[in-house]
Amino acid sequence: MQPSDKALVPFVSVDHMMQLVHRVGLAEMIRRIADAIEEDFRRWESFDKTPRVAAHSLVGVIELMPTANDTLYAFKYVNGHPKNTSEGLQTVTAFGLLADMDTGYPVLLSEMTLLTALRTAAMSAVAAKHLAPKGTTTMAMIGNGAQAEFQSIAMQAICGINTVRLYDKDPAATLKCAANLAGTGLSVVSCKTAEEAIEGAQILTTCTADKQYATILTDNMVGSGVHINAIGGDCPGKTELAAAILHRSSIFVEYPPQTCIEGEIQQLDADHPVTELWQVIAGTAAGRRDAREITLFDSVGFAIEDFSALRVVHDLTLETGLNLPLDLLADPDNPRDLYGMLMRAAG
C-alpha cells in the first residue's frame, strides 16, 4: 500500500544534518541554535519540565529527555558510554523527535548525535555570553574529545574569543583537535598540562568523559575573575571540579532538580544557593556582578535546549527540503478501522 501524506514524517539523517550544517555554515548553525535557546529560556515558565529519565549500568547511561510547551512536544534519546571510544564507537549517540501538541503527530524525527554536539556548544556559549568577563579573548579547553572543536567554534562565533588553549590526558586527542581547528581563525595552543592550559584564559571549559568523581580542576588552579563551563559532569557520581571551587563561585544551573543529581553541585548541601540561568537571560536575576567574581555554569544539558535545536532543524527542513519522508504513522481510511487497513495490505 502506498502511504498517505499523513503517514509520512520528515526524517533528518546524519547525512542530511551534515548537509544542513554545510548549507548554513557551522558558526551560523550554532548561532541559530543559541538564539533559539535564548528565546525558549525567556519563556522557560511555559514549558513542562522534568529531570531526564536515566537507566544506569556499570559502563554507561541511557537517558530520555522530554519537554513540551503549549504547541510542541520534544524528546531526545541519548546515551553516554565512555568506554565506547576504546571500542571504536561514539561515547554519545542520540536521536530526537518533535511533535504537534494539538494532534500528537510527529513533525520531525532527527539524528541528534551531531545535533547534540551543536546544541551543547551553543548552550555553553550562551552561558559564557551572559557570565564571562567582558573582553574575553581566551578559552582553556580541557578535554579534547568529540565536543572540543564545537565548543571552540561556538565561543569564537558568540563570545568573540580568538585563542583556545588545549589540553587532554591523551596527547592524540589534542593533536586531533588542533588539526581540526587549523584554518578557523583561532590561535590554537597545545598544552602539556591542565595548569598550562588555563594560563591567561578567562573561560575554563572542562569536558571529560570518565564516569567517576574526578578533579580536573583543583582549587589552587582557579584564580579570580574567570568563568568556568563545567560540562563533563552529567550523571550521579561523575564530577570534574574540586568542591572548594564551588564554594568560591557564583553557581548557575539549568534545572536544579536535575543538576543537584547529576552536576557538580551534587557535591554540595541541598540548600546551597544557585541561580537558574534562564532567569539571567530573562533579566530577572543578576549574572556576573564584578570583575573578580568566579562564575560557574554547572551544565548537565536540559531538554529545553534539545527542543530549541529541533525547532531550528525543523525550520531548516522546510526551507531546504533536506529530509527523507518516513512511513512512520498508520493512516487508515477510517481512523477507527486499523484492523481493516492491516487486512487489506495482504492483497
- The string of pLDDT tens digits covering residues 224-266 is 999 999 998 777 888 899 999 999 999 999 999 999 999 999 9
pLDDT at 211: 59
pLDDT at 30: 98
> Which has the closest alpha carbon to 316: 6, 22, 24?
24
Q: Which residues, including other chains, have CB under 8 Å from residue 98's CB and lie 6 or more apart?
A: 72, 73, 74, 106, 107, 108, 110, 307, 310, 311, 314
The catalytic residue positions are 234
Region 84-93 average pLDDT: 92
* Cα distances (angstroms) measured from residue 176 to each of 84, 106, 237, 259, 265: 18, 38, 29, 31, 32
Share of residues in the chain with pLDDT > 90 (%): 89
For 31, phi then psi, to 5°, come to -60, -40
Q: Which residues, including other chains, have CB under 8 Å from residue 174's CB and lie 6 or more apart?
A: 144, 166, 167, 168, 190, 191
pTM: 0.95
* Cα distances (angstroms) measured from residue 291 to each of 125, 134, 227: 19, 8, 10
Tens of pLDDT, residue by residue over 186-211, are 999 999 999 999 999 999 999 987 65
